[in-house]
Structure 1
């Protein structure tokens, strides 16, 4: 495995996955007094949260034991029960990570496998209430406490947000290491199992659990849909901008980055080879694998975090073990997943964020010459055909031309393939977030048009004052519609209820399968395949169309 390639891909991609983190919530809003404490008994002991006029909040509840020392890179283990009442009024530590401009300060903590529970006021929820478990994106930074779930709780849901091991701590592999590349997935399954056992004590229904995630989090859900360890732990799923069935043409994430047939998945061997290469400088090499692992487990967190690119190099999931026995993309394409209701979609301009972030927003505009070179790199002898379909003069800038090409070829093609795979077998609701004026609140210079960018829809569901202070009235209405759809889907398995725009199922057998277009004052059907020129890309998808790519046998065709 080319570690440099993987690290660069992840470094470019990860910046978008946690956009909501730029404005981490300051909880709670309502004044809280000592008399407002709320105590709940979990299977590990009593926890005390905070009750406000509108919600009850529990934070930093451990769902697994500390993955440190000999338990670094091991399956999550049970929590040691405690005596007395554990304080759950403050967020727990973020899992070990480096600093970033969108997720705040670094964290050296490994004792971080905690979750947060937001409970609606009794007047706004049935008992037991439907449950939504949120798996955050990125995979190398962030944490569950950075997502404010009170808007969803206002709709009557009990919402659980989860920490899981990140980067090298969640995706590491090494010769002889059982579970290589799957520790983040195992953590998430441990959290879901905690929900099954304990959410009833918080007023939630363990028989009605929806798991939701964006980007890396949605990719994880693709894995859970195919993982034996996740069976029965959730009953519906929301996958926002998921990459579970995406491939990547050469250069899509930057010059010099080759094509890759699976954006998210790696073999166990690839991940183990990366582990050997990435840790070669740490003084543990030269021993047999067991001694090398003991050496690596004894290193301080800070020493691991200091290895360049090590967090992003393991921002993937490995298959070929008990956790993920097979390539999830193949399993999904063959329809071998639970018959549960699914909501799946993406944003209209997914790739604008990556192009703007790498070029225009950092003062290095993407030029027409670069567009020509990028087309040749990605599509070889088909470059002129793609250029004729996407002539640079049809776009305000070469950057937006290239962003559109990659959005259509990589993101939309993968999103549509996923909807087709799901829709053939189970109730599926496809969507496209299309607010091209969605607030961009990261500190990018310049005036690049990010459009309906990757992860730009997250603040429309979770509270985020930094974004929502810029909402127009129409955007507030759109946010309410999207949140209402999510809540009703979590409650019933369909996003439809009286008072909301009708949202038919995605049926691949129809000439135009229904995709719900979500934009201010414009909610309704869109011909997603036509909008993203998927017929053109289907005609171009011969095995030899992309030089430098790995063979794509067994890939599910777009239909």
Structure 2
């Protein structure tokens, strides 16, 4: 049972972090505006020039698309394709191009198995980003910039899944979504590979350097950059706060459901591992890929087709520390105060663990009073831990799923988030939230075995149109979405989410976010049994 549950947990870590299919392309709409052929109409009815959709980047011209109130520029390279000898090499600058590059279509996702990306992807030429900018943003009046790192267990996901136009138009900011190397292609560690275990994090830094150098042409303020992410993307923000190589690349941080103090023995929340452990994993991977006995393992691996690499990799990935990019564990850096001291907006969801618990139960692992001790032992094998958890979280006849979800959510998300808050707040301003809409629109099809409440990733449709389409929200949920966008974008603008149009968010107190109330909540730690988890270790 232990192997079954742990394997499924690892699978669900990647799948549930970004668990929505990319929908089919929408039917053709009105013709896209171009720089030379269109005009806009002002409120007085006078014709005014349309916002430019051809922009000069550091590598060449790109032509994007204009929509109602915003412009998009997709598939913009920020680094050279990591192919051939550049597979498992630090990112290199993009190759300049002549003429005007089309930037009206989404980029190919980085290699990954089928899931969020239908059919998966084997295209290594993927180090691209997408820019969404207000229609009237210009170098003369630059807007704050939010750089978004997607989740997906560092194994799946795509920047193009996050349509940011609501955040851009309501919050008057520029949003950049990033594709970075995933899976073994992003995090393989081997003693013959400089940069081992951190190639995906190095890609994120290359994208941030591109933003500093080039976002001004899109109307973004290169000196006002907030790095944000959810799940593995949120943990990536933690890693960048701890990375000396990221110094000077961003000015604020938003961490959603990616607490910085995760631990590698827990199968749900992201974390980092020592380089020595990552190299052991890398050696096993090389053997599965058919290169374990090769004279030059990296050379051999660079010849292996991407599909075979994907089949050989582990489901979840972990960055490696004891490396030049991550000299230490980000959790230790946060604990010791050795991280970049920047304002942070931090939080998670009320029922983070329910999606995993539901998936494990639906896979044929019922949680009943009789099975509960074995289920807990599968995830907490240290002596005495399972018994203590069973006593603290008793299962009765009908509540096995929610109790299991509470254990996962409290142990791996809510309480590490509270601890991260305490550690960060000793050095920097922190605003903490808990998303608590128990009727949030589902991200996956089908009927779960119990109501999921506000599970992992359920806050995302309030900030983005996932996969390019809005979720069905009630009027109250739309108001909550507007409030959240206001908080997030004001934080990006001023390092303080408060403003006259929103309920006051006191620094040092978690703010509960639901359609019924947006209020400070001083009982978060008690509700999630954080004193118990602090004692358990």
Task: Return the TM-score normalized by structure 2.
Answer: 0.90
Q: What is the root-mean-square deviation of aligned Cα atoms in Å?
A: 2.6
- Kept after mapping to 2: 8 A contact 1:340/1:427: yes
**Counterparts in 2 of 1:524 and 1:345: CA distance versus 1, 3 Å:** same
Q: Match for 2:242 among 201, 226, 239?
A: 226
**What stretches of structure 1 move > 6 A for 4+ residues in a row?**
3-7, 123-126
2 CA distance for matches of 1:482 and 1:398? 32
* Aligned: 1:305 with 2:300: no
* Aligned: 1:296 with 2:311: no
- Kept after mapping to 1: 8 A contact 2:462/2:484: yes
Deviation at 1:447, TM superposition (A): 4.5
Look up the SS of the partner of 1:306 in the other structure. Answer: helix
Look up the SS of the partner of 1:56 in the other structure. Answer: strand
Q: Pairwise mapping of residues 204-353 of structure 1 onto structure 2 (< 5 A)?
A: 204-247=220-263, 263-288=270-295, 291-307=296-312, 310-313=313-316, 315-353=317-355
- Kept after mapping to 1: 8 A contact 2:5/2:360: no
Q: Match for 2:117 among 103, 125, 132?
A: 103
1 CA distance for matches of 2:383 and 2:17? 30
Deviation at 1:53, TM superposition (A): 2.8
**Counterparts in 2 of 1:464 and 1:304: CA distance versus 1, 3 Å:** closer
2 CA distance for matches of 1:4 and 1:186? 34
2 CA distance for matches of 1:294 and 1:95? 21
2 CA distance for matches of 1:236 and 1:203? 19
Deviation at 1:423, TM superposition (A): 0.8
1 CA distance for matches of 2:345 and 2:361? 33
Structure 2 unaligned blocks of 5 or more: 39-51
**Counterparts in 2 of 1:20 and 1:54: CA distance versus 1, 3 Å:** farther
1 CA distance for matches of 2:222 and 2:139? 15
2 CA distance for matches of 1:136 and 1:241? 12
**Counterparts in 2 of 1:385 and 1:266: CA distance versus 1, 3 Å:** closer
Equivalent residue pairs, number:
515
Q: Deviations over 1:367-422 (max 9, x none)?
A: 222212234552643545433432223x8521211211222223212111111111
Look up the SS of the partner of 2:284 in the other structure. Answer: helix
Other-structure match for 1:181: 197
1 CA distance for matches of 2:461 and 2:138? 22
Look up the SS of the partner of 1:437 in the other structure. Answer: coil
Q: Match for 1:53 among 64, 68, 88?
A: 68
Q: Match for 1:127 among 141, 144, 147?
A: 141
**Counterparts in 2 of 1:144 and 1:327: CA distance versus 1, 3 Å:** same
* Aligned: 1:452 with 2:454: yes
1 CA distance for matches of 2:8 and 2:443? 24
Deviation at 1:274, TM superposition (A): 1.1
**Counterparts in 2 of 1:42 and 1:27: CA distance versus 1, 3 Å:** farther
Other-structure match for 1:531: 527
Other-structure match for 2:214: 198
**Counterparts in 2 of 1:333 and 1:24: CA distance versus 1, 3 Å:** farther
- Of residues 116-125 and 10-19 in structure 1, the stretch that sits farther from structure 2 once superposed is 116-125
1 CA distance for matches of 2:200 and 2:209? 14
- Kept after mapping to 2: 8 A contact 1:97/1:106: yes
Other-structure match for 2:395: 392
- Of residues 207-216 and 11-20 in structure 1, the stretch that sits farther from structure 2 once superposed is 11-20
Structure 1 unaligned blocks of 5 or more: 254-261, 507-513, 542-559
2 CA distance for matches of 1:156 and 1:437? 28
Other-structure match for 1:116: 130
Look up the SS of the partner of 1:345 in the other structure. Answer: strand
Look up the SS of the partner of 1:59 in the other structure. Answer: strand
1 CA distance for matches of 2:469 and 2:132? 21
- Kept after mapping to 2: 8 A contact 1:223/1:324: yes
2 CA distance for matches of 1:487 and 1:279? 44
Deviation at 1:33, TM superposition (A): 4.5
**Counterparts in 2 of 1:286 and 1:383: CA distance versus 1, 3 Å:** closer
Q: Pairwise mapping of residues 57-96 of structure 1 onto structure 2 (< 5 A)?
A: 57-96=72-111
**Counterparts in 2 of 1:443 and 1:368: CA distance versus 1, 3 Å:** same
1 CA distance for matches of 2:410 and 2:197? 29
- Kept after mapping to 2: 8 A contact 1:20/1:458: no
Other-structure match for 2:18: 18
Task: Return the TM-score normalized by structure 1.
Answer: 0.87
- Kept after mapping to 2: 8 A contact 1:114/1:163: yes
Q: Pairwise mapping of residues 502-517 of structure 1 onto structure 2 (< 5 A)?
A: 502-506=504-508, 514-517=509-512
**Counterparts in 2 of 1:363 and 1:445: CA distance versus 1, 3 Å:** farther
Other-structure match for 2:151: 137
2 CA distance for matches of 1:28 and 1:188? 33
Other-structure match for 2:174: 158
Look up the SS of the partner of 1:535 in the other structure. Answer: helix
Deviation at 1:434, TM superposition (A): 0.7
Deviation at 1:464, TM superposition (A): 3.6
Other-structure match for 1:168: 184
- Of residues 291-300 and 530-539 in structure 1, the stretch that sits farther from structure 2 once superposed is 530-539
Look up the SS of the partner of 1:432 in the other structure. Answer: strand
- Of residues 188-197 and 171-180 in structure 1, the stretch that sits farther from structure 2 once superposed is 171-180
Deviation at 1:453, TM superposition (A): 0.1
Look up the SS of the partner of 2:254 in the other structure. Answer: strand
- Kept after mapping to 1: 8 A contact 2:355/2:456: yes
1 CA distance for matches of 2:255 and 2:9? 21
Look up the SS of the partner of 1:331 in the other structure. Answer: helix
